[in-house]
Amino acid sequence: MGLLLFETALDVFSLFLIMFLVGREKISVKGGAVKWLVVILIFCLFDHTQFNSADSSSVNAVLLRDFEILPVQSIPGLIGLLFLTLLMNSFVLKASHVEIIFVTMLGYIIWLLIRLFTVATIDLLTISQLVIRPLSFLLTICFYWLVTKRFLVYIRNDFNEFVKLMIVSVFGFLLYIILSSRNQNGLMIHPVFIEFVVLIVLAMLGWIFYEQKRAQVMENRMKATEKYIPIIDELVAEVRSRQHEFSNKLLAISSILQSTEDMKVAREQVSKYVENVQLTNGQQELLNMDHKVIAGFLYTKMKRVEQLKMELHIERSVSVSAFPCEDYDLIEVLGILIDNAIEACYGGDTILIRMMQLNDRYELTVSNPAGYMTNEQFMQLFKLRYSTKSTHSNGRGFGLYNVQQIAKQYSGKIITRNEQKNGQMITIGIQF
């Protein structure tokens, strides 16, 4: 009985890791994770008991069973497990009810692929069947770690219609393969064929995730364009609306020069008029910027800074389009860095944005007045959930951590340094 509990627990925990990975939900003992594990584990143990209830030596029947791919022992148990997993996912994972169905199917696809590969490999190498579940569990942990570190960005909940169709098709196909393989004497289908099927399905999933990521990129580009292009048009309209004012000022300046004989007085009066009609450094930079989406985004930040009685300066020596990253990622990095700088500043302070090229690398940094920081303090800022603000505030401590993840995505590195420029400043950014 102890072996049964151990093996079932390995199956359930493997399935648990995959479901939370696909659902992109953080595992926490304070949430519904423990309930999910307990409910599914109890159901699987119950199904094993029901399956062997007709046998007087039920424990021996469990220990001596042949190849088992599923964590349950009967068709009704399989149906019940699918529906119960769907129900628990709907309570624990954050997605719509329709999306939960496809998240659950995708989770089972990945779990079944790992199990099929394990069973077929063990059958080919003629290893003891007792190794199936421990090896499956180890492969699941490796897969969880790999996806979390490298490929989590390719998994999302709001699948498009094509991906949904492919998930349903692959799920049905795998169930057919598994149900056809169940036999008391081993696998009815040759293990080599099963491993070939696993590789084909993995290739299909990789292609599906790639297409999903490409669709996500296009969608994010459209959203950024629709949101920020009209904003830069507002800046252009604002400048155009001041053209009439400029004309009047020019006439006034001409009148001053003609009517004033004292050149010193004339200079003072002309300076007053010119001071009121000049565009700010930021406005001139945004109008000259080669990327309207980024310019529109920066214009919104500039307006916010003005409301807080601060200044936002932009120093740019390279084209914005030269940065090797997507528009929405560049916007997220800028937004996080500028917002952090604003929260660290007071009225009258100046925030400096720099875009430059150093050798073959492109550097984007944001600087703001602050006290000297050590390397350990800089490193602390990028830890998940760490925040210099109130620890009671929800949603804190994700900003700079997300910047770090974006840097990793593009093989970039984080820039942090102390600077002496018009006083003590700290600089944080990314080098692509």
**What is the mean pLDDT of the segment spanning 80-108?**
85
Residues 6+ apart with CB under 8 A from 400: 336, 340, 381, 382, 428
Beta bridge partners of 424: 420
User: What is the pLDDT at residue 194?
Assistant: 64
User: What is the pLDDT at residue 139?
Assistant: 92
Q: Would you kindly state where each structural domain of the chain is located, as residue ranges?
A: 2-219, 291-431
Which one is predicted more confidently, 8 or 387? 8
User: What is the pLDDT at residue 6?
Assistant: 86
User: What is the pLDDT at residue 21?
Assistant: 85
User: What is the pLDDT at residue 212?
Assistant: 66
User: What is the pLDDT at residue 125?
Assistant: 82
For residue 30, with 0-12 CB atoms within 10 Å meaning exposed, 13-18 middle and 19 or more buried, which class applies? exposed
**What is the mean pLDDT of the segment spanning 142-161?**
71
- 11-20, 176-185, 191-200: the lowest-pLDDT one: 176-185
Local structure of 313: helix, strand or coil: strand
Which runs of consecutive H residues, i.e. helices, occur in 260-326?
A: 263-277, 281-288, 292-307
> 344-372 in b/e burial notation, b at 16+ Cβ within 10 A?
ebeeebbbbbbbeeeeeebbbbbbbbbee
Work out the number of other CB atoms within 10 angstroms of the CB of residue 301.
19
Which one is predicted more confidently, 11 or 225? 11
Adjacency order of strands within the sheet including 350-358:
311-316, 350-358, 361-369, 424-431, 413-420
- 7-11, 89-93, 188-192: the lowest-pLDDT one: 188-192
Which one is predicted more confidently, 225 or 5? 5
**What is the mean pLDDT of the segment spanning 277-287?**
63
Q: How much of the chain exceeds pLDDT 70, in percent? A: 67
Four-CA torsion 182, 139, 102, 40, nearest 10 degrees:
70
Task: Give the span between the Cα atoms of 200 and 206, in whole angstroms.
Answer: 10
Contact 336, 402 (CB under 8 A): yes
- 175-184, 316-325, 361-370: the lowest-pLDDT one: 175-184
Name the average pLDDT for the chain: 76
> Right CATH number for 291-431 from 3.40.718.10, 2.60.40.10, 3.30.565.10, 3.40.190.10?
3.30.565.10
Grade residue 53 by pLDDT with cuts at 50, 70 and 90: very low
Grade residue 399 by pLDDT with cuts at 50, 70 and 90: confident
Helix (H) or strand (E) holding 368: strand 361-369
User: What is the pLDDT at residue 129?
Assistant: 76
Local structure of 355: helix, strand or coil: strand
pLDDT digits (tens, 9 = 90+) for 360-373: 889 999 998 888 88
pLDDT digits (tens, 9 = 90+) for 375-392: 888 888 777 555 555 443
Grade residue 121 by pLDDT with cuts at 50, 70 and 90: confident
Residues 6+ apart with CB under 8 A from 297: 224, 228, 231, 331, 334, 335
- 20-29, 115-124, 205-214, 345-354: the lowest-pLDDT one: 205-214
Structure tokens at 424: 């003590």
Work out the number of other CB atoms within 10 angstroms of the CB of residue 149.
9
Query: Which of 342, 396, 336 shows the shortest CA–CA distance to 369?
Result: 342
With a cut of 90, say whether residue 138 has pLDDT above it. yes
Which one is predicted more confidently, 52 or 91? 91
User: What is the pLDDT at residue 60?
Assistant: 39
Which one is predicted more confidently, 188 or 31? 31
Most confident of 39-48, 151-160, 288-297: 39-48
User: What is the pLDDT at residue 141?
Assistant: 92
User: What is the pLDDT at residue 235?
Assistant: 64
User: What is the pLDDT at residue 415?
Assistant: 87
For residue 98, with 0-12 CB atoms within 10 Å meaning exposed, 13-18 middle and 19 or more buried, which class applies? exposed
- 33-37, 56-60, 148-152, 371-375: the lowest-pLDDT one: 56-60
